A and B are shown apart, each in its own frame.
Chain A
Amino acid sequence: MENNIALELRNITKRFGTKVVANKNVSLTLYKREILSLLGENGSGKTTLMNMISGIYFPDEGEILIDGKPAIIASPKDAYSYKIGMIHQHFKLVDTFTAAENIILGNNEPYNLKIVNSRVKDIASKYGFDIDPKKKIHEMSVSEKQTVEIIKVLYRGADILILDEPTAVLTPQEIEKLFTILRRMRDDGKAIIIITHKLNEVMAISDRVSVLRKGEYVGTVNTSETSEKALTEMMVGKKVDLQINRVLIEKKKPLLEIRDLSVKSDVGTNAINNVSFYIRGGEILGVAGITGCGQKELCEAIAGLRPISSGAIMHDGESIIGMSTRDIIKRGISMSFIPEDRLGMGLAPSFSITDNMMLKTYGEGKTPFVDRKTARTRAKQLIEKLGIVTPSTETPVRRLSGGNVQKILVGREIESGPNVIITAYPVRGLDINSSYQIYDILNEQKQKGVGILFVGEDLDVMLALCDKIMVLCHGEVMGVVHASKTTKEEIGLMMTGSLDKSEIKEYGKAKDSNLSEDEWKKIDKETEDM
């Protein structure tokens, strides 16, 4: 049996800095001629683990065996020499080149596009890809680009393929096609690892499933012997009591009402599809979903940063569609999105804390001058209130640690006195104390009657903090559940698309809406005409 093993990981540990352990003692076996699903929530260390196999990171401890022999993979080049190829989520392709040119880039083989084209076509017909090697990347759709990435890896003779969330950017039809191809590759003797969050896909494509949770290896099961429910339990673990208080306050009128909203992503696919929901004052509505299921586009659409393709967004009974970002801010809608690199949007890294405090308010007042004095006072108050560690109010935020940076962003948004707060991943990368401080701030606002949309990652936190949780999968609402009446497993199933409650019940229309049914119908008509 030994020679049947394509790849083996033994006790792999990877740390980033001194605090973060991305992978702890992970062992994993990949057989030839199989498709292995790697399952886990966001931040469970899947991508880190795969990056170690493909030579981007080097493990701190443990060893990797290929064909039974210890292998040292210190660069993507080394990985290729072991016939390992990874298809990343973000494609690395040169836009102005053709598919064939991209495929041989860095390959150091004689430059003869005729031979390349015919070899590409051979590979394509062998596995059933649809590709025109002479087509330029910028003329391609997302799925075509993905095809180029996969062929690029096969072209270099990879026998072990790693695909990092390949289905996230594809339509259902394209996913089906990809799966057919993957099965053909498996039958041809390739070993394939596929990272995905969607349980139905896991069940459909894989032979075995390995589960990671918070950087640790949970276990491996044969797909035929497991169920979606069992996998969800492995993935989310037991419920942890977090001791976050859910303040209960009196129900208020809906503040933000969204109906039949559709929004396109950067690449033109439907990121948000026919979504309806509402937020009341004094309510925290959680949004749960796998990263990239449309949270970002939803937030941006509400903030006026992204055009919508259809639907209605009503704030206090008035449509805010087409309003400028500035007008939406003026209405008291605050949006803060903490991206993965944390500094992306909402703060200017080399500006001082004072200047960042007035990013949204610098235009106030009638003089042509900015009011730095008030901003400085506000900065001082915020520093004191939230215990922000900084040498002074004039320090560029870039020099502060992640937690302090986020406190400034969230603090500024809340201090601006909004009536709707949209906040995505506000505790991303924060330590426990800072996280709790942020939860407290949100609860405080809720008590003041502010409506909060909380896009989160940690289900335990969402269950404890939110009043209701809306679950998104692939840009569609799977259901809205009461946090006190649901379980982690239920949400997990909905996130992965295994459970669709919206089929049974229609969500997102408040009975005490600010608008009458007739008015809604009128809006419906108008948006149809759009």
Chain B
Amino acid sequence: MKTANKKHEPLFHITKNDAIPMTKAIGIRVFAILIALILVGILSMILIKENPFLIYKAMFDGAFIDVWTLLQNTALLLMFGLAVIPAFQMKFWNLGANGQVLVGCLSAIACMKFIPQKFPDISNGLLILIMALASILASCIWSVIPAIFKAYFNTNETLFTLMMNYIAITMVDYFVFTWDKTGSGTLGIVNLLNGKKGWIPDISNRYVLSIIVALIMTVFMFVYMKYTKHGFEVSLVGESVNTAKYVGINVKKVIIRTLLLGGIICGILGFLYAGSVSHTINKEVGGLGFTAILVAWLANFDSGVMLLTSFFVVFLDTGSKYVSTQFQLNSNDYANIVVGIIFFFVIGCEFFIRYRIQFNKRKSKSIEEREEA
């Protein structure tokens, strides 16, 4: 009997741990980031053959060389994240922010390009309004289609939204080639030589607008998720569909409504790209969509925390890009590796927050065993 017990008794036992103190959880994450940074330092040292502290310093300096761009990029990433968190909170894996922003931007650009051609006298204000509405409408269509199929037919939303991205990307490609008569495959800055029609006026400089919009959206989303009835329903559906039905929530309606909200945010973002950030469209416009998924997940779908995580990622990205130019490492790719490594560690460390490893000294008593049918 003794030997049998030994044979079947594993060395350790993993259980869920939901009562970890906040400070400890943060401590684990910081520790993981530190290890990742050390690894990045070692790697960079091998590649650059420089003192790693010099590299860290360059990274830090580099990130803050152009503070406005840093902040604008943070704002853009943040808005992408805000678009996906309500869906994520509901356990609806919306990977489609990318495509939703693209179609929004595409529609806005279409309005910007063609309405002034047909109606040369249109006022700029009206044009901008039409652009905004067109963008929001397009994005909403893009996000609501997978939602409807999820709600009524339980169609896998992860795969569906993923595919919607690529349909959007190829559409952009098609229209850019259609509209661009030069055959260069790029659209160029729209209306640059046409009185800047459809351009949203700058607030002091061209970065501020998106930063302000992002901040307003963050506050809105924070309040929406934490203090409104809608937000309460979203969390409840994510927590347990059965309980949501039990208290009388129409789950289908909540899924569609929530994705509509994500679509509106993507629409605004697409409109900002068209009217303020880039004044043009290309496949890269939606590119932050995937990074935003990581940022939202890191923030545990909390819009307040996402201010920090999106800044952190943009900081890393900008800083490592600077390092790679400073030390002749070739552009963006070094940054992707750095961000990737740090993410791997942060993703991995979540395990030590969510689970507890118990080493067995004596016979373990499993929690689940109390069930008796």
Contact = CB atoms under 8 A, between A and B. Distances in A.
**A–B direct contact (CB < 8 Å):** yes
A369 B229 CA distance: 5
Contact of A17 (B19, B228, B370): B370
A303 B372 contact: no
A115 B280 CA distance: 66
Interface in A351-373: 351, 355, 358-360, 362-363, 368-370, 372
Given A369-B228, A370-B228, A324 B242 contact: no
Interface string A485-498: 00000000000000
The winner among B4, B247, B365 for most chain A CB atoms within 10 A is B247
Given A325-B248, A359-B247, A369-B228, A349 B372 contact: no
Given A325-B248, A370-B228, A345 B243 contact: yes
B371 interface: yes
A371 B126 CA distance: 39
Nearest to A292: B373
B247 A329 contact: yes
Given A340-B371, A348-B236, A370-B229, A324 B4 contact: no
Contact of B246 (A17, A74, A325, A358): A325
Nearest to A325: B248
A20 interface: yes
Contacts of A370: 227-229, 231-232
Nearest to A358: B232
Nearest to B236: A348
Contacts of A360: 247-248
Interface string B262-295: 0000000000000000000000000000000000
Interface in A306-339: 324-329, 335
Interface in B10-41: 18-19
A72 B4 contact: yes
Given A74-B4, A329-B248, A363 B229 contact: yes
Contacts of A303: 246
B372 A305 contact: no
B306 to A, nearest CB: 19
B235 to A, nearest CB: 7
Contacts of A398: 18
Contacts of B231: 370
Contacts, number: 93
Contacts of A351: 235-236, 239
Contact of B248 (A75, A324, A348): A324
A22 B372 CA distance: 8
Contact of A344 (B4, B242, B372): B242
B370 A20 contact: yes
A411 to B, nearest CB: 16
B1 interface: yes
A359 B236 contact: yes
Nearest to A355: B232
A17 B247 contact: no
A440 to B, nearest CB: 26
Interface in A6-27: 16-17, 20, 22
Interface string B231-263: 111011001101101111110000000000000
Contacts of B371: 340-341
B66 interface: no
Contacts of A368: 228-230
A177 interface: no
Nearest to A364: B229
A350 B239 contact: yes
A329 B1 CA distance: 56
Given A75-B8, A398-B18, A348 B230 contact: no
A328 B5 CA distance: 54
A348 B229 contact: no
Nearest to B240: A348
Contact of A345 (B1, B230, B246, B372): B246
Contacts of A348: 235-236, 239-240, 243
A345 B5 CA distance: 37
Given A16-B370, A74-B4, A351-B235, A396 B246 contact: no
Given A48-B372, A340-B373, A370-B227, A349 B248 contact: no
Nearest to B367: A17
B227 A372 contact: yes
Size band of the interface chain A makes with B: 35 or more
B246 A349 contact: no
A399 interface: yes
Interface string A145-185: 00000000000000000001000000000000000000000
A195 to B, nearest CB: 10
A161 B240 CA distance: 37
B355 to A, nearest CB: 15
B369 interface: yes
Contacts of B118: none
The winner among A48, A291, A327, A362 for most chain B CB atoms within 10 A is A362
B7 interface: yes
A327 B248 CA distance: 8
A47 interface: yes
A21 to B, nearest CB: 11
A325 B240 contact: no
A436 interface: no
A341 B242 CA distance: 14
A196 B8 CA distance: 32
A303 B229 CA distance: 22
Contacts of B249: 326
A355 B239 CA distance: 12
Contact of B243 (A45, A70, A340, A346): A346
A335 B239 CA distance: 20
The winner among A16, A347, A360, A372 for most chain B CB atoms within 10 A is A16
A125 interface: no
The winner among A22, A291, A369, A399 for most chain B CB atoms within 10 A is A369
A345 B242 contact: yes
Contacts of B227: 369-370, 372
Contacts of B7: 74
Contacts of B370: 16-17, 20
A58 B366 CA distance: 11
Contacts of B229: 362-363, 368-370
Contacts of B235: 348, 351
Nearest to B227: A369
Contact of B18 (A70, A74, A340, A399): A399
The winner among B229, B231, B245 for most chain A CB atoms within 10 A is B229
A526 B345 CA distance: 65
A324 to B, nearest CB: 6
A277 to B, nearest CB: 23
Contacts of A45: 372
Contacts of B372: 16, 22, 43, 45, 47-48
Given A340-B371, A358-B232, A359-B236, 9 more contacts: A324-B248, A325-B248, A329-B248, A344-B242, A348-B235, A348-B243, A351-B236, A363-B229, A396-B18
Q: Which 5 A-B pairs have the closest CB atoms?
A: A326-B248, A325-B248, A72-B4, A74-B8, A16-B370
Interface of A: 16-17, 20, 22, 43, 45, 47-48, 57-58, 70, 72, 74-75, 89, 164, 291, 303, 305, 324-329, 335, 340-341, 344-351, 355, 358-360, 362-363, 368-370, 372, 396, 398-399
27 contacts: A16-B370, A16-B372, A47-B372, A58-B8, A72-B1, A74-B8, A324-B250, A325-B245, A325-B246, A326-B248, A327-B248, A329-B247, A348-B236, A348-B240, A349-B239, A349-B240, A350-B239, A355-B232, A359-B247, A362-B229, A368-B230, A369-B228, A370-B229, A370-B231, A370-B232, A372-B227, A396-B18
